Amino acid sequence: MSKLTISDAAQFLGVSKEAIHNRIRRGTLHCIVENDVKLVVISEDDSSASVVKKSFTPKQTTTHGNEKYYKFLEEQNTKLQHRVDTLEGETRTLRDQKEQMLIDERIKIENIYKEKDEQLKNIINAISSKLMLATPQEVQETIEGEIDEDTDEDEQDMDADKSRLISLNKYLKGQDFSKKKIAKIKEKFKERAKDDSRVVTIGKKYYIDLHKYDYSDFSI
The neighbour count for residue 48, using CB atoms within 10 Å, is: 18
51: in domain: no
Mean pLDDT of 86-113: 89
77 residue type, one letter: N
Output 202-209 pairs: Cβ under 8 A, ≥24 positions apart.
205/167, 205/168, 205/169, 206/167, 206/168, 206/169, 207/165, 207/166, 207/167, 207/168, 208/165, 208/166, 208/168, 208/171, 209/161, 209/164, 209/165, 209/166
How many residues comprise the chain?
A: 220
Mean pLDDT of 139-147: 54
Which one of 88, 103, 137 terminates a domain? 137
203: in domain: yes
pLDDT in tens, 41-70: 887 655 444 444 444 455 555 556 678 888
166 in helix, strand or coil? strand
Domain that holds residue 36: 1-46
Same domain, yes or no: 39 and 64: no
Same domain, yes or no: 124 and 72: yes
Closest Cα partner for 204 from 172, 179, 170, 167?
A: 167
The model scores a pTM over 0.75:
no
Phi, psi of 36 (to 5 degrees): 65, 20
Same domain, yes or no: 133 and 65: yes
The count of structural domains within the chain is 3
124 in helix, strand or coil? helix
27 in helix, strand or coil? coil
pLDDT in tens, 176-205: 899 999 999 999 999 999 899 999 998 889
Predicted pLDDT of residue 49: 46
108: in domain: yes
Same domain, yes or no: 90 and 113: yes
Res. 106 pLDDT band, cuts 50 70 90: confident
